[in-house]
Chains A and B, each alone.
Chain A
Amino acid sequence: MPDTPECDLREKLIGFGEKSIHKSYFPQLYKRLEELELFHALLDRANDPIFLVDTNSDVVIEANQAAYNLFGLNKVERAWKSFMDLFGNARQAPGREGPGGMAEGETREVSHVSPSGQRVYFELTLSTMTISGLRYTVGVARDITARKQAEEALREREQQLRTLFETAPVGIYVSTGEGRYLASNPANAAIHGYAGPEELLGQVTDMARDVYVDPEQRQILLRRLRREGEVKNFECLRKKKDGSPIWVSTSARLSRDPKTGQEIINGFSIDFTERRQAEQETREAKDFLYRIVDSIGDPIFVKDDTHRHVLVNNALCAIIGRPREAILGHTDYDFFPREEVDGFWQFDNAVLATGAENVTEEELTGLSGKKHTIVTKKTRYVDVLGKRYVVGVIRDITERKQAERELEASEEKFRSIVESSPTAMYFYRLEADGRLVLTGANPAADSTMGFAHQPLLGKTLEEIFPHLARTHVPELYRKVARGEIGAQSYQGVHQDERATAFQDVHVFRTGPAAITVDILDITERVRLQEMMLQSEKMASVGGLAAGMAHEINNPLSSILQGAQVSLMQLAPDVPANKAAAEECGCPIEAVRCYLEKRRVIKFLEGIQEAGRRAAQIVSSMLEFSRKSESRRAMADINEILDKSVELASTDYDLKKKYDFRHIAIIREYDPGLPEVSCTRTEIEQVILNLLKNAAQAMAEQPPPEGGPAIVLRTLRADDSVRIEVSDNGPGMTEAVRRRIFEPFFTTKEPGQGTGLGLSVSYFIITANHGGTISVESEPGQGARFIIDLPLGERK
């Protein structure tokens, strides 16, 4: 470029298309040039691309620096064309037609992709101007990319918010303090049962009235909002369009319209009816659980892993003696003695650690001080979060324990009664097949019956007591066992090879199909009763006999003496008799002869003999009342028995009727028999009498099988010596047995016995020796006389 101004100008003018300009125009030209430069500078300073286009040719005449910067030096023309295309497309929409088809001052959005590939948005404003008759179009493209983007972003965000608002599952609303909806999303409308926000806004004009079950609730909400500005989760019962109730939780914020000062409430509504129902159901389920747990009589507790009670039932409250509120959250140490709790926790810990169930009997002292015996079953419960609990069920067995103890004591008492009972007790069970099986017996049973019951357990009544098989007894027992009849009592006779025992038998039911047979051996009592009866009878008889004897003795004495003296006075060799006879004029021989001829002598002798016999009887009778002790001495009973046998074998009277040697004498002596204080001759007399009676009885009958035999047995009883004289003779009837010791009672032929022998024996044993004598016999069963002589010194 030339340095001179003229040169610059020229070039510049040429640049404008001038071919030649006169110098005189130069100042004017300079001025124009300045204006032009100013104009350019102005254009170039603009940030927005500016185009100057010849409207007719649509050729870009001028563009500013920003256009060149943006589109590139060579591409301005193309960019314009592109703009115009876009503009034209945009103009297809109805618009005002400007000159040349362009709307004057019309603005359109166009875009351009920059060389870097970025789309740039412009707001292209076209305007026309006419200079020197030429029409120019001026296009100003304002870069609106940033604004466009901001707008886009805003629109997007708004869209998002709208979508959120429209699709939010929670109700969103704006309302006035008076209770009119200003806005609502569909969810809020749906919650309240309206088809859409429009319906809600249209129909709800007073929220308190239209959507609250209790209008006061809205006032409460409002008051809180006014006080706190914001309320969260305000729960209340609302009503839907159709009136049905719903539970709605509202979170709202109160603000005021800055212009009007009106209260505006922005709020969220959540329909939690279902949750509420679920909660209700949960609560009910929990309540149900509690009711059940409470209705259980056994105390139940749940403790957490720090031993704090988290659940207890009424029964547990009762055993502790505190209300539920005072127990929950507390530990056992707050209620029970330390040493007890130490034990509880030990098991708690084991259960918590291992999960193994634990059942333990424990002592527990309630707050009232009452001691309980409990059985606690503990199990572990692990919740979904993995937290461990001890679940315990307590069974209070205090009463059962007490009852058990009492039962034990009672059982012990009754067992000891049974064990120590002097009566024999046999326990039988009635089997389905009707057998009565022995299940037990007491010690008295063994001693009374003389055999051990142990080996007989499980055997039947009939096997144990064969002689009962033929009797009605087993059936009687069965009836009692079946409960068909009540307890039965009867007197029984038990016989074995050794002895006859009298028994009071009492059979009673002790359970279903169980009976107890209680046997009291009354043999001694029966014998004693018999003896007492006998003794009384004999005492009176004895007294009678003694009194009689006395009265008889004097007349007997007269008879005997009279007879003796009469015979004496008739004796021919007595001088006094002779003299007296002579005096009467009759020789004594003649007197004698006459008396003999007339059998007077014989009668006198008969009187004497009869008197003697009577005297003998009376003398025997007097034994009843005689109590001589003078000749008592210690004696060996076995020896006395032998002596008596010897006397019997030499007894003339006995020999006449029965040869004693034909009787087998069987001696069963106790070799260790102690000596007894007695009058030897009297005991000999008694034994001799018994032997004679036995021999005579056996003589009257055909000899028994194996020949007649007499068994002499001695044995030591408690405090006495027993002598038994048994024969295998005909025995006797009960009637005879009862009277056998009575004086003058005899079964022998008249003249064969006085009926005094056994009476005398009786008095010798009872009155003189303080002993007892009795007899056991049945017809055909022989007879056994039993004599007990006391060992102690007689008083």
Chain B
Amino acid sequence: MSGQTPSVLVIDDEEMIRESLQVFLEADGWAVAAAASAEEALEMLAAGTFDVAIVDIRLPGISGRDFVLRAHAERPELRFLIFTGSTAFRLDAELAQAGMSAGDIFAKPLDDLRVLAEAARRVVA
């Protein structure tokens, strides 16, 4: 938590998705940082603090799932939402260990991004 403005880190390699989400969340009242890869996100995570990270799974380099596990190891207070186009993705034990539940996984596309914003608020609260 950084003051009353919650902060979110959006990680997605697809620029349109990453930026539209960033725009949407900012409008929704979030402090948003965006990264195009897990490596970039990990650097940003080292530099600053975030309340929640919205993670794509299929990323170049480190996968979204590995990012969650590493980020959780470094920043246990950080919460995660997974936003993926991969329909086969399921919650597993390690992710659960990282504090995730099945309701924290969202499939692309979403009709309405508010669903994601609400989820982010829920996990941060």
Residue positions of A touching B, CB distance < 8 A: 546, 549-551, 553-554, 556-562, 564-565, 568-569, 574, 576, 611-612, 615, 622, 625-626
Residues B1-50 near A (CB distance < 8 A): 14, 16-17, 20-21, 23-24, 27
In the complex, chain B residues whose CB is within 8 Å of the CB of A556? 108-109
Given contacts A549-B87, A561-B17, 19 further A-B contacts (CB under 8 A): A546-B87, A550-B87, A551-B85, A553-B85, A553-B87, A557-B85, A557-B110, A558-B16, A559-B109, A560-B109, A561-B24, A561-B113, A562-B16, A565-B23, A565-B24, A568-B27, A569-B27, A611-B109, A625-B88
**8 A-B pairs closest in CB distance:** A553-B85, A557-B108, A558-B16, A557-B109, A561-B20, A565-B20, A556-B109, A554-B85
Residue positions of B touching A, CB distance < 8 A: 14, 16-17, 20-21, 23-24, 27, 85-88, 107-113
How far, in angstroms, from A752 to B121 measured CA to CA in the complex? 40
Q: Are A569 and B88 in contact (CB under 8 A)?
A: no
Q: Are B24 and A622 in contact (CB under 8 A)?
A: no
Q: Are A554 and B24 in contact (CB under 8 A)?
A: no
In the complex, chain A residues whose CB is within 8 Å of the CB of B86? 550, 553
**In the complex, which of the residues B17, B27, B112, B113 contacts A558, with contact meaning CB atoms closer than 8 Å?**
B17
Q: How far is the CB of A567 from chain B (nearest CB, A)?
A: 11
Among B20, B23, B88, B111, find the residue whose CB has the most chain A CB atoms closer than 10 A. Answer: B20
In the complex, chain A residues whose CB is within 8 Å of the CB of B16? 558, 561-562
Q: Are B14 and A558 in contact (CB under 8 A)?
A: yes
Q: CB-nearest residue of chain A relative to B22?
A: A565
In the complex, chain B residues whose CB is within 8 Å of the CB of A553? 85-87, 107-109
Q: Are B87 and A564 in contact (CB under 8 A)?
A: no
Assess A558 versus B20: contact at CB under 8 Å? Given A550-B87, A576-B27, A625-B88: yes
Could you pull out 22 A-B pairs where Cβ atoms are within 8 angstroms? A546-B88, A553-B109, A554-B17, A554-B85, A556-B108, A556-B109, A557-B14, A557-B110, A558-B14, A558-B20, A560-B110, A561-B24, A561-B109, A561-B110, A562-B20, A565-B24, A568-B27, A569-B27, A574-B27, A576-B27, A615-B109, A626-B87
How far, in angstroms, from A554 to B17 measured CA to CA in the complex? 8
In the complex, chain B residues whose CB is within 8 Å of the CB of A569? 23, 27
Q: CB-nearest residue of chain A relative to B108?
A: A557
Q: CB-nearest residue of chain B relative to A628?
A: B90
Q: How far is the CB of A503 from chain B (nearest CB, A)?
A: 44
Q: Are B17 and A557 in contact (CB under 8 A)?
A: yes
Among A557, A559, A612, A625, find the residue whose CB has the most chain B CB atoms closer than 10 A. Answer: A557
In the complex, chain B residues whose CB is within 8 Å of the CB of A560? 109-111
In the complex, chain B residues whose CB is within 8 Å of the CB of A550? 85-88
Q: Are B108 and A568 in contact (CB under 8 A)?
A: no
How far, in angstroms, from A246 to B94 measured CA to CA in the complex? 136
How far, in angstroms, from A561 to B20 measured CA to CA in the complex? 6
In the complex, chain B residues whose CB is within 8 Å of the CB of A549? 87
How far, in angstroms, from A661 to B86 measured CA to CA in the complex? 42
Assess A554 versus B108: contact at CB under 8 Å? Given A561-B16, A562-B20, A574-B27: yes
Q: CB-nearest residue of chain B relative to A558?
A: B16
Assess A554 versus B107: contact at CB under 8 Å? Given A561-B24, A564-B24, A565-B20: no
In the complex, chain B residues whose CB is within 8 Å of the CB of A615? 109, 111
Q: How far is the CB of B108 from chain A (nearest CB, A)?
A: 4
How far, in angstroms, from A11 to B24 measured CA to CA in the complex? 235
How far, in angstroms, from A408 to B48 measured CA to CA in the complex? 97
Q: How far is the CB of A580 from chain B (nearest CB, A)?
A: 11
Q: CB-nearest residue of chain A relative to B21?
A: A561
In the complex, chain A residues whose CB is within 8 Å of the CB of B108? 553-554, 556-557
Among B86, B87, B109, find the residue whose CB has the most chain A CB atoms closer than 10 A. Answer: B109
How far, in angstroms, from A553 to B17 measured CA to CA in the complex? 11
How far, in angstroms, from A261 to B20 measured CA to CA in the complex? 176
Assess A612 versus B111: contact at CB under 8 Å? Given A558-B20, A561-B16: yes
Q: CB-nearest residue of chain A relative to B19?
A: A565
Q: How far is the CB of B105 from chain A (nearest CB, A)?
A: 14
In the complex, chain B residues whose CB is within 8 Å of the CB of A551? 85
How far, in angstroms, from A590 to B27 measured CA to CA in the complex? 21
Q: Are B113 and A564 in contact (CB under 8 A)?
A: yes
Q: CB-nearest residue of chain B relative to A546?
A: B87
Q: How far is the CB of A570 from chain B (nearest CB, A)?
A: 12
In the complex, chain A residues whose CB is within 8 Å of the CB of B23? 565, 568-569
Q: CB-nearest residue of chain B relative to A551?
A: B85
In the complex, chain A residues whose CB is within 8 Å of the CB of B109? 553, 556-557, 559-561, 611, 615
How far, in angstroms, from A436 to B74 measured CA to CA in the complex? 90
Q: How far is the CB of B81 from chain A (nearest CB, A)?
A: 14
How far, in angstroms, from A556 to B20 measured CA to CA in the complex? 13
Q: CB-nearest residue of chain B relative to A574?
A: B27
How far, in angstroms, from A625 to B112 measured CA to CA in the complex? 25
How far, in angstroms, from A558 to B88 measured CA to CA in the complex? 20
Q: CB-nearest residue of chain A relative to B28?
A: A568
Q: CB-nearest residue of chain B relative to A626?
A: B87
In the complex, chain B residues whose CB is within 8 Å of the CB of A622? 87
Q: How far is the CB of B117 from chain A (nearest CB, A)?
A: 11
How far, in angstroms, from A232 to B20 measured CA to CA in the complex? 156
Among B14, B87, B88, find the residue whose CB has the most chain A CB atoms closer than 10 A. Answer: B87
